[in-house]
């Protein structure tokens, strides 16, 4: 039996699981680098914007007029990014790919300085549906954005400390004898407060720390959005290097597949009949009800502004929407071999077996026969395998930006994704080949425009 070396010992620049020979538009090493560079939604947007501008996308101030000339453009606000290619006035509609940049995590409170039993701790809020047990006994850093007063201006700055400065220690089993029979139950208010130093916390300790990260005086620090993250680097995993293990696979995997898919069609946009658009939203994990979430008007406003920049009036824009198409890309549940009974038996999903179309009769996913068909056709023409996910009837089904976007725009929408395990854990798992599967699929959808 052949012995496989672990991690980066294999050639990650070309690694694709056996049985797939097509050209990958995004390599495994690129995915690992992108995941590592994006511990927060703000860093994810910064990383995506850098990749796009390095490839010739022109940054556009979201508050300024959009350029009228055909070209490639990118704009952002907070944890949300929009990028598009304008083929020209003849483009008859839009093909939108949407994903999200946020992941469940622990976020620093506004008054975070806490003391207990001789420890200085940092008060946290649980963001989204985190598997909180997975945050125990992990080496945690801090990252996010701070707002600083610079003269009369308010300036947002990204900050990141990749040291293992925080930790949430689990209670020893000797002090919790019932855990074997009753399982682990965490109180998010009292049992998820990371420690970071010995001694009593003082009012302003976190503010002083954040100001130092931002390179400003503490009196100029106005506010922050800081969050904990696992400092363990993304890696290739499995006996045969078939998997990747990382934080934030849900949903940075889809986000960066979208970025690299858009880059792959940028040089041929002139021949497309519809305008390719990529939107990476924030706040999906908490319902999308925000100025930068899918339930807001940011995408619809941006699409109308793109139409206006191309000389279309309101009626022409609505006609363009009627001929448009949306792909919502988010993680899909792979079948967990230790919990097979939690999955619909006739719709089992495997890693490295293809991109997933997600269906739900109650519209928790936006896919229907009409919206699913163009995606399947694009994948078939590009020789990309497709799986179908359906949830069990006796379990509540999650949702994503697909139904929200479909409702806001009135545009046919399909929900798709790459399969993964341990969704919402601090460290998730996906397939190496599925990087190419999803990137190539999104590129194929844009090319069908």
Residue 184 sits in a domain whose CATH number is 2.30.250.10
**pLDDT score recorded for residue 10:** 37
**pLDDT score recorded for residue 89:** 64
**C-alpha of 75 from chain center:** 17
β pairing state of 71-77 and 80-86? antiparallel
- Which residue range(s) make up the domain with 144? 105-230
Q: Do 265 and 85 form a contact (C-beta atoms < 8 A)?
A: yes
How many independent structural domains does the chain possess?
A: 2
β pairing state of 94-100 and 325-329? parallel
Residues 205, 161 share a domain: yes
Residues 153, 85 share a domain: no
For 43, 268, 271, 278, 309, the CA distances from 81, given in Å and listed in that order, are 11, 22, 25, 8, 19
**pLDDT score recorded for residue 257:** 98
Residues 323, 215 share a domain: no
Residues 147, 74 share a domain: no
Task: Identify whether 242 is part of a domain.
Answer: no
Q: CA angle 254-145-112, nearest 5°?
A: 115
CB-facing half-sphere around the CA of 312: CA atoms within 13 A: 20
**pLDDT score recorded for residue 23:** 47
**pLDDT score recorded for residue 18:** 38
Residues 155, 184 share a domain: yes
Q: Using one digit for the tens of pLDDT, what is the confidence trace for 102-118?
A: 999 999 999 999 999 99
**pLDDT score recorded for residue 88:** 67
**pLDDT score recorded for residue 391:** 94
Residues 262, 392 share a domain: yes
Residues 299, 188 share a domain: no
Of 174, 202, 230, which residue sits at a domain end?
230
Residue 372's CATH number: 3.40.630.10
Instruction: Judge residue 13's burial from the number of C-beta atoms within 10 Å of its C-beta, 0-12 exposed, 13-18 middle, 19 or more buried.
Output: exposed
Q: Do 346 and 127 form a contact (C-beta atoms < 8 A)?
A: no
Residues 225, 287 share a domain: no
Q: Which residues of the chain have pLDDT under 50?
A: 1-23
**b/e code 428-446 from CB counts within 10 Å (16+ = b):** bbbbbbbbbbbbbbbbbbb
Q: CA angle 393-394-400, nearest 5°?
A: 65
Reading the block at residue 332, the tokens are 């899909």
**pLDDT score recorded for residue 180:** 87
For 122, 125, 162, 224, the CA distances from 192, given in Å and listed in that order, are 10, 9, 20, 20
Of 200, 230, 260, which residue sits at a domain end?
230
pTM of the model as a whole = 0.93
Q: Which of 201, 79, 80 is nearest to 144 (CA)?
A: 79
């Amino acid at each position: 039996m052949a012995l496989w070396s672990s991690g980066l010992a294999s050639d990650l620049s070309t690694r694709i699981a056996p049985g797939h020979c097509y050209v990958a538009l995004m390599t495994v090493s690129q995915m690992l680098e992108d995941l590592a560079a994006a511990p927060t939604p703000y860093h994810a947007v910064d990383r995506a914007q850098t990749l796009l501008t390095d490839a010739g996308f022109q940054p556009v101030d979201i508050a300024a007029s959009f350029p009228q000339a055909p070209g490639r453009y990118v704009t952002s606000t907070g944890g949300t990014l929009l990028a598009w290619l304008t083929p020209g006035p003849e483009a008859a509609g839009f093909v939108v790919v949407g994903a999200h940049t946020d992941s469940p995590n622990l976020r620093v409170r506004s008054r975070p300085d806490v003391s207990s039993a001789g420890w200085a701790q940092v008060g946290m809020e649980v963001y989204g549906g985190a598997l909180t047990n997975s945050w125990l006994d992990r080496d945690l850093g801090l990252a996010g954005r701070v707002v600083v007063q610079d003269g009369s201006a308010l300036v947002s700055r990204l900050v990141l400390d990749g040291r293992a400065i925080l930790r949430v220690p689990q209670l020893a089993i000797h002090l919790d004898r019932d855990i074997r029979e009753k399982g682990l139950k965490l109180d998010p208010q009292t049992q998820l407060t990371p420690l970071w130093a010995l001694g009593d916390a003082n009012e302003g300790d976190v503010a002083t720390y954040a100001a130092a990260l931002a390179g400003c005086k503490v009196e100029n620090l106005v506010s922050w959005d800081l969050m904990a993250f696992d400092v363990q680097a993304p890696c290739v995993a499995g006996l045969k290097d078939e998997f990747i293990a990382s934080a934030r696979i849900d949903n940075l995997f889809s986000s960066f597949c979208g970025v690299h898919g858009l880059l792959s069609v940028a040089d041929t946009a002139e021949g497309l009949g519809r305008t390719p658009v990529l939107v990476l939203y924030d706040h999906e994990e908490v319902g999308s009800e925000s100025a930068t979430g899918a339930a807001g008007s940011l995408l619809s406003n941006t699409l109308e502004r793109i139409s206006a920049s191309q000389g279309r009036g309101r009626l022409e824009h609505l006609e363009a929407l009627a001929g448009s198409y949306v792909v919502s890309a988010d993680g899909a549940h792979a079948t967990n071999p230790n919990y097979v009974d939690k999955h619909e038996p006739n719709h089992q999903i495997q890693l490295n077996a293809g991109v997933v179309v997600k269906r739900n009769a109650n519209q928790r996913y936006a896919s229907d026969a009409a919206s699913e068909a163009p995606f399947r056709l694009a994948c078939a023409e590009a020789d990309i395998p497709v799986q179908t996910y359906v949830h069990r009837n006796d379990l509540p089904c999650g949702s994503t930006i697909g139904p929200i976007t479909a409702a806001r725009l009135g545009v046919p929408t399909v929900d798709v994704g790459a399969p993964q395990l341990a969704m919402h854990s601090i460290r998730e798992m996906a397939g190496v080949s599925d990087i190419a599967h999803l990137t190539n699929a999104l590129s194929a959808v844009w090319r069908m425009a």
